[in-house]
Amino acid sequence: MQATKAYNSQIMESAAAREKKKAKKPEWGNLLGTFLPYLVIAAATLAVFYVWISNSFITGGDDFKTHLALVYDLAYGFEHGFVMSTNHVYLGIFAYNASLFYGMLPHYSAAVLKTLFSFAGADLIGSMKTVSILFAFLGGVYAYKLFLKATHNRALALAGALAFCFLPYKIYCYFYRFAWSEAIALNFMPMFFYAVYAILHDDKLRPGPFVTLVLSAAFLVTSHPFTALVTIAGGALLGLCNIVLFVRKAKDWRFDLYLGTSLLLGVGMVFFFLFPMLQATASGLYRVSNSEVMWTTLGHIVDSMKNTNQFAGILDFGWAERMGVSLSDVDAASAWIFGLVSFPLLSILGYLVDWLLTKKVPLKAVFKLPLRLAVLFLILFVPFFAVGARIEIYLALALYFLSYALFFVLPLKAGEEGKGLKKSFLDLAKDGSFYACLLLTVIGFLYLYVAFVWEMSPSILYTAQFAFRFWGIATFALLFLFVLLVKALSKYRASITFALMVATCLFTLSMGVVDKRIYNVENGHDQFFEPDQSWIMGRSSFGAQNEYTPEIIYDLYYGEVKESYPGSKAKEIATVFLRDHRVLYGEEDYSEYLGFLEGDLAVEAVISLNTPDVDLLVSSEGPSLLQLPQFYYEGYEATAVYEDGTRLSCPVSNVDGLVAVSLPSGAFALEVRYPGPALRVAGFYLLGFSLAGTVAMGLSGFALNHRKRGGDSQPSEGTGAASR
């Protein structure tokens, strides 16, 4: 009896050992299935930017020159020892402080990239392209991670990620409008939603999602504040619709600590930009404070709704005709229609034939696999090779073929098996994320089309400037909703194939890329090459209305106010800037437009000039007031440095929109510097602490894992078992 027990025990131990050894073996299909989707996302990202990649120039929209000039100016500043400052070349001696108002993460990223790789020949155009592609790839990766976490199905997650890569409004912002900051900010949308979703749904407490929450919120705010506003509101709605999960999580004090710390770190990350911007905007000193100038009134928002459809980014034939595809030209119109209609039809045919080959053809897998791939390729591509198609069709087909082969032909694991239809829809009905996406989609489309909703909304939403900016959040929410609905049908392989087809089909419907290929590349319009300094110096406006200039400059020019002092040069500068559209450069111009407002003083020489910094050699018979030809922004400092080394701080004030310095008597060197507003200076310290805190929070995961390995039993956060 004992021998039998020992034998059985030995058998069981051997079986356990075999299972353990088997578990250690790498499942290559599973590994490839994990890794290869990211390569497909990379391919899709490159496909979106093929027009830029295949040409040395860049094809830009209305705002391209402004963004290019800002990047140039930052790179110029880096070369001359400036990191955080106003502009240097863009508006010459005026020292334009765009970074106080503009989300500059995209611009700094491109300028840093250009500076770091200048030894390898990096230029501004190439750096802007690279930054655009890298952030777009990041958006696709996090879309995949979000949808994988929500569906546990790699094929469906890849379909969602491809659809995000081809989101028409995002492509439209990149190519047609060149709303560069907004386009890049849209890529952080899935990153933020992934963080919120993971925090709510992960069974175990992990610091990773909290770190992602902090970083994605910071990236959003410092790229495009309005996109950040609607994205964070959407994340809050996702949390509200999953309030039961949140309450369970909140019973664990560690969750509360992580969440509270994340909120503090998030504020610390953006403080240096957000709060000084709000302060400056509310000051009323600058044109950006004027709601009429900035198109941030209810009337303008409502008026913009009539053009909502034109900015969706989806192909319409009226637009196609303007791009040279005349509907009266039967051949041209037929080719476009054939491409748009044939893509889904051939995809369906390919799926049906592949299903028959899988089920009905009695061949070994080694023969069947290449047969299926070959037949699918012929069905998808041969008709288009025969009649011809535009390049977007081929790129979309290639990505569909690659995605389909990855999960339905190659022996790779796609994800968990779909549940029964009834059970899947019951789960969907209990899923708070489904209702959050549904509500967010409805709300988004209401803001796109219903004026009454705007009338009932807080005025902070008017910073959208145009109603069509809701296309970003509305289409992303719709995509998330689509993925959740297909998940309920994932028992049927056809549903995943349909999702892949819809996702790749979006690229054939997108307006932005086609516009740049036809209008710019084929017809040779608006091709922008690497700028030189003279090109930047020829720019005389920032934005359509010079929004970031002092308001009084306009008031002086149009005679609405008079100069504060007889010696003020503000009216002359306003005339040069607004009538002559000329920017002042160099020491000679600087000396000519100095304003001697009070006292008996003289400026002997301009010692150094690299605005916003300037050093002057001054002599004064008594207290005096000197006006500098630099636009006033809060944060200027001035110091009188005497020959014996004595340093005396000089008060700086705003006189007619220009910097004015109250000077003491004597001969001295006047040093003018711009560290920025007090809130901005404090914000940089907070940024340093927040970066360190975010790193520490990420590393705290090691402590959690160590406690777990040490035998500390850690209940699942999903159960809410841990209590305070």
Q: What is the mean pLDDT of residues 132-152?
A: 97
Kindly report the three-state secondary structure assignment for every residue of 60-81: CCCCHHHHHHHHHHHHHHHHCC
pLDDT value for 712: 45
* Average pLDDT of the chain to the nearest whole number: 89
pLDDT in tens, 457-502: 999 999 999 999 999 999 999 999 999 999 999 888 899 999 999 9
Give CA–CA dist 599/594, Å, rounded.
14
Q: What whole-number distance in Å separates Cα of residue 152 and Cα of residue 496?
A: 13
Domains present along the chain, CATH in parentheses? 583-678 (2.60.40)
pLDDT of amino acid 96: 85
Q: pLDDT above 70 covers what percent of the chain?
A: 91
Q: Give the DSSP H or E segment for 367.
A: helix 365-387
Q: Can you name the residues that pair with 616 across neighbouring β-strands?
A: 606, 670
Mean pLDDT of 689-706: 85
CB 211 within 8 A of CB 228: no
Q: Is 597 exposed, middle or buried (0-12, 13-18, 19+ CB in 10 A)?
A: buried
Q: What is the mean pLDDT of residues 552-565?
A: 93
Higher pLDDT, 139 or 13: 139
- Report the distance separating Cα 145 and Cα 142, nearest Å: 5
Own/partner contacts of 260-263, CB < 8 Å, gap of 24 or more, are 261/210, 261/693, 261/697, 262/210, 262/213, 262/214, 262/697
Please give the structure tokens belonging to residue 607. 């010692």
Half-sphere exposure of 585 (CA within 13 A, CB side): 15
pLDDT band at residue 717 using 50, 70 and 90 as cut-offs = very low
Residue 720 has pLDDT above 50, yes or no: no
pLDDT digits (tens, 9 = 90+) for 634-679: 999 999 999 999 999 999 999 999 999 999 999 999 999 999 999 9
Is the pLDDT reported for residue 27 higher than 70? no
